Amino acid sequence: MERVGTPLKATAIYNILIGLIVLSPALVRSVFGYEVKDAGAMLIIASYGLGFGFLVWTAAANPAKFGGLARAVVVALAISLVSLLWGWLRGTFTLRNVGLPIVIEVALAAWIWSTRPRG
């Protein structure tokens, strides 16, 4: 059960960083090369990234109690991946916008899945 704590912490940190980056249109432009068209929508996305990050951090801090949430975190990452891929395929995002997040999210999901509690 303790093995799942580290990948959950990495996922939490990733989501908190994304949430902090998305708070600033200038950072979004610098990091992802995406020109923010609606700052209000980005604030909503930032709040979800930060909130999800802190929720996952809480689970990671006590994997004996909350390790069962690992599957739900993998599903959340999969939902995010579908959204990124859909945006890319529709032309909303370029590969530069979503390439690295896709790689990171696939790696995190695989890492969590490989260490998740079974049973």
Q: What is the pTM of this model?
A: 0.92
* pLDDT single digits (tens) 90-109: 999 999 999 999 999 999 99
Sequence-separated (6 or more) residues with CB below 8 Å from residue 95: 88
Burial class (CB in 10 A: 0-12, 13-18, 19+), 6: middle
Task: Specify the pLDDT at position 118.
Answer: 79
CA distance 114 to 62: 18
User: What pLDDT, in 10s, does the model give residues 16-73?
Assistant: 999 999 999 999 999 998 899 999 999 999 999 999 999 999 999 999 999 999 999 9
Q: Residue 2: what pLDDT?
A: 80
Domain ranges of the chain: 2-115
Q: pLDDT-derived band of residue 119, with 50, 70 and 90 as boundaries?
A: low
